[in-house]
Structure 1
């Protein structure tokens, strides 16, 4: 598929979805690649991530900062800065930022989907907080996304011991 020239500026506005602790920029819209790929830069607040979900697109997650707990088809594993995970289309997946500071990823989506419209609409659907499961399912159906459950939770850390 032919690509078009595309320049993604450092100061492009972000889409914010506070209900899931997400800020993102669409770095490569799908139309630039003739629909073959889209690339999104995401930042997740500590303890946040998307609901468990699946869709037909393959996603490649390259962690640029922080640490995440991923779950893919029931298997959980930690991914750190500089590491990458490929989630084939059709796999149930989710992740959560398990660090104390914001964590970031560069996400490649294949084939490309209209990430700008999807995340803008998701932000509208979550403007008042997380919608009920039926509303989220209806939103997902329009996009070929099946929401399967709540977001992953960061593991609880043991309480700090006082004085010794």
Structure 2
């Protein structure tokens, strides 16, 4: 059994906050778990993970998930699945939302942490980010953009 840290440090990623709850290194790369906290209207670009399956669990708020040509409006306690190789994204529909994301196999969280910046205060606004640099580094993790962020 591997002991995990009680709290993972939050970092900014694409304008929202993220934390690595279970790193791939703790599971022999079998899986990793992250938490994302975002505000209304937040939506990452439509993208594809070539290597990972992904499961999303809504913890707080209302989020619409887009997986291939399907759309799922979810609330706390509901779950969506994104198979590897299928374009997906999400859109926060409530004032704020939190979700857990499980990646299998693990280690893609290293791409998120490498492109994030530390949160120094709960009240701090997200810093500017270089989307070009973030996308350029995605190739090494077999993540690619498939389209713009979804809208309502």
Q: Which interval holds the TM-score relative to the shorter structure? A: 0.7 to 0.9
- Quote how far apart the aligned CAs of 1:136 are: 4.8
Show structure 1 runs of 5+ residues with no match: 156-164
Cα distance in 1, alignment partners of residues 111 and 131 from structure 2: 16
Cα distance in 2, alignment partners of residues 114 and 79 from structure 1: 24
Equivalent residue, structure 2, for 1:23:
17
4+ residue runs of structure 1 moved beyond 6 angstroms?
none
TM-score, with length taken from structure 2: 0.84
Q: How does 1:97-136 map to 2 (within 5 A)?
A: 97-100=92-95, 102-115=96-109, 117-123=110-116, 128-132=128-132, 135-136=133-134
Cα distance in 2, alignment partners of residues 65 and 8 from structure 1: 23
Larger RCO of the pair (alpha carbons < 8 Å, separation 6+): 2
Distance 1:121 1:86, change over 3 A: same
Q: How does 1:5-154 map to 2 (within 5 A)?
A: 5-10=2-7, 12-17=8-13, 20-55=14-49, 56-100=51-95, 102-115=96-109, 117-123=110-116, 128-132=128-132, 135-153=133-151
Number of residues paired by the alignment?
Answer: 143
- Quote how far apart the aligned CAs of 1:96 are: 1.0
Show structure 2 runs of 5+ residues with no match: 118-126
DSSP-derived class of the 1:151 partner: coil
Distance 1:76 1:42, change over 3 A: same
Distance 1:130 1:148, change over 3 A: farther
Deviations 1:32-71 (A, max 9, x none): 1111010111111111021110012001101010111111
Query: Contact 1:22 / 1:49 at 8 angstroms: preserved in 2?
Result: no
